[in-house]
A and B are shown apart, each in its own frame.
Chain A
Amino acid sequence: MELHDVWFVLIAFLWTGYFFLEGFDFGIGVLTKLLARDRTERRVLINTIGPVWDGNEVWLLSAGGATFAAFPDWYATLFSGFYLPLLLILVCLIVRGVAFEYRAKRPEENWQRNWEHAIFWTSLLPAVVWGVAFANIVHGVRIDAHKEYVGTLGDLLHPYALLGGLVTLALFTFHGTVFAALKTVGDIRVRARKLALVLGPVTAVLAAGFLVWTQADSGNGKSLVALVVAVAALVGAVGAIGRRREGWSFALSGLTVAAVVAMYFLTLFPNVMPSSLNEQWNLTVTNASSTPYTLKIMTWGAGITAPIVLLYQGWTYWVFRKRIGTQHIADSASH
């Protein structure tokens, strides 16, 4: 296996980590309006991801940095091409991070409500936009002979991509609902389970439709396997939550997220960003990658650091493994 292939897999891994972890973060954000009935319940939800959301988000920065280092042309074409969607995501991530940290810093009702609105919208929008962006990457966009994106914003908003956005939103919300059922106790846990049983089938139908479309559009033998795994895991996740097996359900909804990302990347390979104008102009793992020397250094670096990151992030989840409920939220609105 060539080093640029290794890095294709590693970047796929980083995106999988990002969507697996930030998937339920975004879901929790959406649930603050969908599931929580009052302020205390919203705080319960927010605090299920309190100690970990920041570490989860760094997976995105790592994916970005790794793409810059391993496939500079991919990084340049993707982020200069998808300019305004990325701007929207960045604005959301800025406001969202500040919202988590500042929401409880003042006792005023208005102050807290505004940040809660912010948490909802800045969780919902990136979930949609990432879906639209990845659907476009897989589908192919207008890239010219100089590896430049020459399309417009409107070119990115076709039905297939919009369905992709809807699917990620549904999937992340379902993933978040299952996570909420796993991490809370009391009334909110019961309602989270019920909501998951409604969201699950809807998500399954949308996801199956979108993935079959993807398979027909640009799939191959391997991506078909990922498709089957994704749909089966999603059905399994709904079945498990119906039997009150929250741990299993969460593992399976996570597997669904991973299988969807895997399907994207299996569909892409050996391209990283296909051109819809001319196949000769596709960005591939060979024509967009860095030199073998850089890739070798990066491989050593990632090979050593990534397992350590997994260990201590896993430890964090273990430290904060206790379920929380409304009784665990201190009354004082301010800190």
Chain B
Amino acid sequence: MELALAPETLARWQFGITTVYHFLFVPLTISLAALTAGLQTAWVRTENPKYLTATKFWGKLFLINIAMGVVTGIVQEFQFGMNWSDYSRFVGDVFGAPLAFEALIAFFFESTFIGLWIFGWDKLPKRIHLACIWMVSIGTILSAYFILAANSWMQHPVGYRLNKKSGRAELTDFWAVLTQNTALTQFFHTMTAAFLVGGAFMVGIAAFHLARKKHIPVMRTSLRLGLVTVVIAGLLTAVSGDTLGKVMFKQQPMKMAAAEALWDGQAPAPFSVFAYGDVQKGHNTVELEIPGLLSFLANDNFSSYVPGINDVNKAEQEKYGPGDYRPNIPVAYWGFRWMIGFGMASFSLGLLGLWLTRRRFLLPQRLRTGEDEVPHLVLFRNKALSPKFARWYWLTALWTLLFPLIANSWGWIFTETGRQPWVVYGVLRTSDAVSPHTSQTEVLISMITFTLLYAVLAVIEVRLLVKYVKAGPPELTDDDLDPPTRIGGDRTDADRPMAFSY
């Protein structure tokens, strides 16, 4: 059979397409849930209607986004069985448990409480309604934790034994699966990166309105919240990324060697800035390097030995038998660089924005702005940026909202393709994991169906987001500002329209 259209290849493409697509919505859902909850908390505590307006505005964008996150997630729950049945049989005993817990604990949480939050504005007292969005936020984070624990087990299997008789992996220590360092560091890195996405999303859209001098009080607050989120999350993403990198150097040396296109082991090992090489011959023809940095990233000192692709490949051939144990090197190499590059860029632009829009802090009296003014952009001590540069900044800030999304996608593409040819590292090969009786036609049909459907929905979703971003925050009504104090609502008028209806 033509290898390009073999069921294994198609199944890999399908899983890649559907997962990357799903993960465009996931980080935004995780971070926007918490940020919206934060804004609503500010309203409940201060009763300042500005925060309620902000809650309604970001809440609406959050709902448009989460709808897609939910439906694309459904596919993933079943795709293991559909396309990867041999994998499912092999790992079900271990892998199924976190997945089932995710559904039982997190999915029920999210889906039930989001219904209460959407429809409960005129049915629930303020504080209970606020608790609902926090429940949604906790649900999204718990869900991420369980699924990352499951994924981490595939990256670095622990707490199991191989049963020769039944030919499958059997769980021996669930606690080890949930608390191993791969799971914890992946969770930390994914969470911080998710907040980078949400923060940049807020910054970009707030910048869009501020550049047009519209909805200033709400957007000023949102800009500030977004910038602070971007800077803190960006910093923590770098820290967690470094930790995760060190874990990976120990557990999956091949992935990290591929990420650096380091063909032969070196001590000290350099960090590659740019490389162009020949995969067949196993060397680079063009290289631009920072000496010693890779040793530091791997082992915390500048002169230690780091094994290269050729060394690890040879070691794995001796351990697991003949074969090619190298992942797709250009994808790993460039995926790693795009991830770091776009992540760093969003963090730097966030830092710049926070400095430019600083308030009382180090700012002369005449450049300070009130709540209903667009903040001056002040680079140096005494002078605001000229209108031309200010326009450039707002435009850059708007487009920055895409950077963390790109970084998140490439990070996952790197993590997942860097593990090939293994589906469970060192234990089960991807080629042994596909469904043996699923035909090429069937996989082709489902791959084309999902790709087309997702493409159409993406266009619809983005256009809706743009429409509601442009429309800006809604006008508040008296009912909005005066929520019920009893469960079920206070007002006795039986024919009053619902606060929200589909």
Instruction: Give residues in A with beta carbon < 8 Å to B.
Output: 43, 46-47, 50-55, 57-58, 60-62, 64-66, 68-73, 75-81, 83-84, 86-87, 90-91, 93-95, 97-98, 100-106, 146-150, 290-291, 293-294, 297-298, 301-302, 305-306, 309, 312-313, 316, 319-322, 324, 327-331, 335
Contacts and interface: CB of A to CB of B under 8 A. Distances in A.
Interface stretch (B169-177, B238-246, B326-334): B169-177
B427 interface: no
Interface string B46-73: 0000000000000010011001101110
A47 B81 contact: no
18 contacts: A46-B502, A51-B119, A65-B77, A65-B103, A69-B97, A72-B92, A75-B80, A76-B86, A76-B89, A80-B83, A80-B85, A83-B82, A105-B464, A106-B464, A309-B112, A313-B108, A319-B116, A320-B119
B498 A47 contact: yes
A80 B488 contact: no
Given A52-B115, A69-B93, A102-B64, 16 more contacts: A43-B501, A50-B115, A51-B119, A54-B111, A54-B114, A54-B115, A64-B103, A68-B81, A76-B81, A80-B85, A90-B75, A106-B467, A301-B101, A313-B108, A328-B496, A328-B501
A187 B89 CA distance: 53
Contacts, number: 249
B93 to A, nearest CB: 4
A65 B100 contact: yes
B104 A62 contact: yes
Nearest to B101: A301
Contact of B99 (A68, A103, A309): A68
Interface stretch (B180-188, B301-309, B445-453): B445-453
B430 to A, nearest CB: 16
Contact of B442 (A77, A84, A98, A101): A84
Interface in B276-321: none
Contacts of B170: 290-291, 293-294
A265 B112 CA distance: 28
Contact of B96 (A60, A72, A90, A101): A72
Given A69-B99, A94-B453, A64 B501 contact: no
Interface of B: 60, 63-64, 67-68, 70-72, 74-75, 77-78, 80-83, 85-86, 88-89, 91-97, 99-105, 107-108, 111-116, 118-120, 123-124, 168, 170-172, 174, 435-438, 442, 445-446, 449, 453, 457, 460, 464, 467-468, 487-488, 495-498, 500-502
B502 A94 contact: no
B495 A328 contact: yes
B77 A64 contact: yes
A316 B85 contact: no
B89 A68 contact: no
Nearest to A50: B502
A133 to B, nearest CB: 12
A10 to B, nearest CB: 10
Contacts of B174: 293-294, 297
Contacts of A93: 71, 74
B115 A55 contact: yes
Nearest to A89: B78
Contacts of B449: 87, 91
B65 to A, nearest CB: 10
Contacts of A43: 501-502
Contacts of A328: 495-498, 501
Contacts of A50: 115, 118-119, 501-502
Nearest to B170: A291
A239 to B, nearest CB: 30
Contacts of B497: 327-331
A189 B464 CA distance: 34
Contacts of A316: 112, 115-116
A293 B89 contact: no
Contacts of A57: 74, 111
A83 B438 contact: yes
Contacts of B119: 50-51, 320
Nearest to B454: A94
A53 B300 CA distance: 51
B488 A322 contact: yes
A43 B497 CA distance: 13
A282 B460 CA distance: 46
B171 A294 contact: yes
A243 to B, nearest CB: 25
Given A104-B502, A319-B120, A54 B70 contact: yes
A284 to B, nearest CB: 14
Given A55-B112, A94-B74, A65 B498 contact: no
A330 B100 contact: no
A39 B115 CA distance: 22
A71 B168 CA distance: 13
A106 B460 CA distance: 11
A34 B444 CA distance: 36
A79 B112 contact: no
A53 B393 CA distance: 44
A294 B89 contact: no
B89 A290 contact: no
A72 B460 CA distance: 37
B200 to A, nearest CB: 24
Nearest to B102: A65
Contacts of A73: 89, 92
Identify the 7 closest CB pairs spanning chains A and B, nearest first.
A72-B92, A69-B96, A79-B81, A51-B115, A80-B85, A101-B67, A68-B96
Contact of A61 (B107, B112, B487): B107
A329 B501 contact: yes
B93 A94 contact: no
A50 B449 CA distance: 28
A89 B453 CA distance: 14
